[in-house]
Amino acid sequence: MRQRRKPHESKGAKASRSSVSPAGGRRGKRKHVEAVTLFDVLTMGRSAMQAVIGDWIEAYGTRRDSCLLDLISFFIQCCGCKGVVTAEMCQDKEDCDVMSKMVEKLDEVAGLQYKKFLAFPWILTVTWPMDIDRAEYPLTQPGPYGRWFHSEFCEFMAVLVAQVQHSIIFDSYLMNTLISLLTELSDSCVRAFRHTCTLAAVKLLSSLVAVALNLSAGIENSYKLYRVQKTKTMGRRSPLKQERMQRKITELREKKAEVEAMMDVVFKGIFLKRYRDVLPDIRSLCMEELALWMKLYSSAFLNDSYLKYMGWTMHDKVPDVRLKCVLGLQALYGDPLILPKLDLFTSRFKDRMISMTLDKDNEVAVQTMKLLLLVSKTSDGALSAEDYRQLLRLVYSSQRPLAAAAGELLFARLLNTEAPAPDTKINDEEARERQTSARLRALLHFYEESELHSHVVYLVDSLWDSGGALLKDWPTLTSILLQKPSSRSPGLTQAEQAVLVEILVASVRQASEGPALAGRSGSKKVMSAREKKSQLHDCTKLTDHLLVVLPQLLSKFSGSCDSVASLMKIPQYFLPERPEADNTQSHLKLLMAEMGAALERHSGPVLLEAAARTYLSLCGGGASWCSVAWTARDSLVRRWVDHLTALLGDSLQGESLCFSADEEKTADILATLKKLGAFHNCHDLLEWNLFGLLSPLLSAQSGEGGAPPEVLLEVLRCLSYCMLWSLSTSSGTLNSREKAESQRLQLRLFCERSNRCLSHPDHSVQQQALVGVCDVLTAHAHQLQVWDPSSFGPLLYTPSPRLQRALVTFVCAHVFVGPDCDGPSADLEVERLEELHRRRNLLAAFCKLIMHRVLEMSTAAEVFMYYMKYNDDFGDIIKETLYGTRQMDKLGSAHTLVLCLQQLFLRLKREPGSDGGVDPGVQTFTSIKELARRFALTFGDLVKFRECVVVVHRNGIEFVFQEFSQTSEAPAPPYLSYLTILGEFSSKLLKPDKKIVFSYLQKHTAQHVIDLREECWQPLAYYRASLLAVAAAEDAVSHVSSDRWPHAPGCSPSSKQKREAFLGNQSPCPFSPVDSEVNRGQRLSFTPSHKDWDPFSVPTEHPARQLDFEGSVLRADEDTVDVEL
């Protein structure tokens, strides 16, 4: 704390820097205490705040004007203003001369702003620096300080009004001055004044509401005492007390009316202007306080005249303002005593509230849904059936908080129904089952009406928080599914049973894994200890029950492939660490038998994948049932392999192994291959030697004697799984060189036969062959990287050049194709997206070969050249490949980019009709230049990639001038226009490197006759300008980008002068440079008589802008870092 200057008065003026010091009798007792300002007291806590404000109130009685100026200075300081406040007395509030002085201006010379305003009986003048509106003020300070100041400032306003409510608040002086001050400052164009004083005004009104409530309570209590006194008998009645009570009631009513008048002045003078302020924070605090006033003082504020501001502000463009409105309305609708006053507001703004459930801000949408839930609970007829239908769709929202709120509305509205009364008396357990059954039927009815039949898991997730007890009632769910239809209970239809099975599986998954769903965000990431305990209890409960009931469900729904596929997922969520129950082994054997029977009957891909994953979960859980699951799985696989061996033995005949199976046997072979492929994807089946069994099917080509495409597709898939398992288990299986050589032989055989399948007429076979080869070679490369040299491991296998060329050709021909090449299915959006997904998988598999060094890095050039053309479809994959190759080898990646650009340029040169030259206006040339610009942007760190950028320039210069011999027929290199493309990388050169690259360019051009006025040499001029960064570079860029030298008619004289200045007014005759050394002090001349003229010198400029070419071109400065060229 620091001592402030004592107040001083002049004629008609008082300085506002006065301090607040203890007054009256306390002054003598506390002389050792330093005086503090009201602003300083904000840092001292509530108790100190109350004491200092009490001292201020005592001082107000003797020095009213000085204390008021202290309070005014407090508000100015709270605005963050370090200026000066002065005051002059005003005698007449309506004086025209006085009102003309109310100005707000700035003095740019002095750097100050002035604001004069009337706070009767003073005219206050505030002077502050001009930059206060751009600086941060206390309310907007980041971090905890801003929040602390906001809290303490609001506390100060509450304590001030609370301590003056019984005294000086009614003196018609303090509040008038304070309200006038806040009204004027809240209307300032300075944001700090407007924000801080608006907050003070609304908090003042909130405190006045508390005062009015206290007065209302006092009036009510006094009136009760008055009525009690009036009901007494004449002997005990005291007329004096009655008269005193009557006077007190009248006095309290007058005070209440005066307080309400103050509130009305603040509301009309400040709130009505600031609730639509340009600053969102001001609008937010206005709406927040308005909701508080309507809730606390509903008799005055809760009417349509005030509610309309809340409804209008719900259309605000800032989410925080809309959120404050919704939260305020939640508080209003949550109070049943004031609900009748909200009927008109509900009918007027119901549509807006419903539309806000689709708000772009997630929190606003969630809170609006909770608000509508309150409306539906308190007002039965407020929402129509169409409104409910629109709201309940949000249970399928991608945002889980919004979906959970909609699920709560669904559970409260539709599922919380009562079961019909039974004819006979039933016990409590039967009544609970009937209630659960009625709710489940209502849920099934809602699901069927929503017509979103593939979103059961999202529906269950939305209902989990509000209706978890219903969804976790697995005994009732399974009893309904196993229930047989009768005359009393007709049961469920097949469609309803299928949906109920999906709900059962989804509830099991939700109880075991939690609310983590693909495509739905906003779920809780970390579970608490209580939630983990509840999850463990649910898993134990579902395991104990469903292990017994699941075989019966599989037996009942064995004819439905979809239902069986869903039910087969349930054992994946069993808890293996649970306490062992009785008859576990027998129940598991029954389950394995039913699963085996289902696999023999069905061969759908979804069912096979679910069964394979379930067997994997049961075999690897570590429980006692693992041995039973292993035995059942081995028995299934052995039976399938024996069956397939017999079928292939009958189908493959002759030395050429021609496939001669009929249609029935082919279908049987295909079904068995699908089962083995699905299980081999999850399980290691190498002991059955499927590679040796299936590889002969790939020996015959398509056509006569070849296997059907669908069989080849499954064979390729099974063989790729065989190779992947062989490579992944190399550390445990390869214990001799013979086994390693045998593995490499299988790898070579698989790659060669897959290479032949790349030319198969069926597209699915081609794609599977490519994906299989890429996956196997990637796994092989990974095993070589992690292989321990001290033990046996996989031997090195390098794909043949023929296979590498085939892979590159296939990717370019089948991935980078236009819309016309997508086939007839491109018209359908779903099929187009599926096709795009397949092409992305092919490209990603191919790029992994480059990332794992299976293919040469230069192969990536064939992919990089499509970066711009197919950026929307494959841009992320190509960019990731580019960054990956750069991490592997920076220089090699740079060479690949150069190779890509040069290949595109050469292809353009070979275009028919180019006539030996490249027109930069051709769209293809523009796309190449744009591709170079995109490549240049990937070099973010100039110091880290400086060598790479220099390599790009060096290779480009060599590409342009290599083996060029100047003749009269060919005055310029044929690839000179490539320098325009190369110039896109000049901005990524460091300044020393630009000088070195320019020297390297001069070395290649020194032996040629160059005339920069000729159009054929303009790419060189552009490239030189990009390296030198001269003032004429902009003209060069605009000239080259126009693709024509500006000789066209209508060329302005100014552009001609710029061109001549850029060329240096050269002579028409060509020149031959003899000596490129230029003396430092010699002024450059561009006449033909000077034989020492440097063809690569810059145009004549002002001496201050003249570049030193002897230092910048021919020599490296002291700060130059040598870069090898």
- Of the pLDDT bands very low, low, confident and very high (cuts 50, 70, 90), residue 80 is confident
Output the pLDDT for position 682. 93
Output the pLDDT for position 88. 60
Distances 64 to 51, 92, 171, 749 between C-alpha atoms, Å: 18, 19, 11, 103
119 forms bridges with which residues in the sheet? 122
Classify burial at 1101, counting beta carbons within 10 Å of its beta carbon; exposed 0-12, middle 13-18, buried 19 or more. Answer: middle
Output the pLDDT for position 1080. 34
Average pLDDT over residues 589-612: 94
Report d(CA 960, CA 955) in Å as an integer. 9
Average pLDDT over residues 981-1004: 90
Question: In the 8-state DSSP scheme, what is residue 427?
Answer: -
C-beta atoms surrounding 819 within 10 Å: 8
Chain CA centroid to CA 383, Å: 34
pLDDT at 23 over 90: no
Give the 3-state secondary structure of residue 108. Answer: coil
C-beta atoms surrounding 971 within 10 Å: 15
Exposure string over 920-959, b if 16+ CB within 10 A, otherwise e: beeeebeebbebbebbbebbeeeeebbebbbbbbbbbbeb
Question: In the 8-state DSSP scheme, what is residue 420?
Answer: P
Of residues 654 and 911, more confidence is placed in 911
- Of the pLDDT bands very low, low, confident and very high (cuts 50, 70, 90), residue 1060 is very low
- H or E stretch including 1038? helix 1033-1041
Average pLDDT over residues 855-880: 93
**Interacting residues of 893 by C-beta distance below 8 A, sequence separation 6+:** 857, 882, 885, 886, 948
Average pLDDT score over the chain: 80
The tens digit of pLDDT for each residue in 424-469 reads 566 777 778 888 888 888 899 899 888 766 789 999 999 999 989 9
Average pLDDT over residues 357-376: 95
Classify burial at 726, counting beta carbons within 10 Å of its beta carbon; exposed 0-12, middle 13-18, buried 19 or more. Answer: buried
Output the pLDDT for position 454. 75
The tens digit of pLDDT for each residue in 498-551 reads 999 999 999 999 999 888 888 888 877 788 899 889 999 999 999 999 999 999
Backbone angles phi, psi at 295, to 5 degrees: -80, -40
Output the pLDDT for position 487. 53
The tens digit of pLDDT for each residue in 614-669 reads 999 998 866 677 888 999 999 999 999 999 999 988 877 656 567 777 889 999 99
The tens digit of pLDDT for each residue in 176-185 reads 889 988 998 8
**Interacting residues of 920 by C-beta distance below 8 A, sequence separation 6+:** 926, 929, 977, 980, 1040, 1041, 1043
pLDDT at 1071 over 70: no
Structure tokens at 604: 């759908």
Structure tokens at 437: 């059954």
The tens digit of pLDDT for each residue in 737-783 reads 888 888 889 999 999 999 999 988 899 999 999 999 999 999 999 88
The tens digit of pLDDT for each residue in 117-172 reads 666 566 777 776 655 545 678 888 888 888 899 999 999 999 999 999 888 888 88
Average pLDDT over residues 782-796: 75
Output the pLDDT for position 130. 57
pLDDT at 20 over 50: no
Backbone angles phi, psi at 873, to 5 degrees: -90, -40
Output the pLDDT for position 190. 83
Output the pLDDT for position 226. 82
95 close to 26: Cβ distance less than 8 angstroms: no
pTM, to two decimals: 0.78
Average pLDDT over residues 338-356: 93
The tens digit of pLDDT for each residue in 692-703 reads 999 888 875 545
The tens digit of pLDDT for each residue in 797-827 reads 889 999 999 999 999 999 998 654 444 544 5
**Interacting residues of 60 by C-beta distance below 8 A, sequence separation 6+:** 67, 68, 168, 174
Distances 114 to 10, 81, 105, 986 between C-alpha atoms, Å: 21, 12, 5, 52
pLDDT at 580 over 80: no
* Residue 1052 one-letter amino acid: S
Give the 3-state secondary structure of residue 784. Answer: helix
HSE-CB at 738 with a 13 A cutoff on CA atoms is 0
- Dihedral sign, CA of 181, 182, 183, 188? positive
Average pLDDT over residues 925-940: 92
Output the pLDDT for position 185. 87
Average pLDDT over residues 354-376: 95
What string of DSSP letters covers 668-703?
HHHHHHHHHHHHHHHS--GGG-HHHHHGGGGTSPSS
Structure tokens at 224: 């009760």
Helices (H), 297-361: 298-301, 304-313, 319-333, 343-355
Report d(CA 406, CA 400) in Å as an integer. 10
The tens digit of pLDDT for each residue in 673-696 reads 999 999 999 999 999 999 999 988
Report d(CA 451, CA 459) in Å as an integer. 12
223 close to 249: Cβ distance less than 8 angstroms: yes
Output the pLDDT for position 224. 86
Most confident of 103-117, 131-145, 246-260, 486-500: 246-260
Structure tokens at 461: 């997730």
**Interacting residues of 640 by C-beta distance below 8 A, sequence separation 6+:** 672, 675, 676
Average pLDDT over residues 363-385: 92
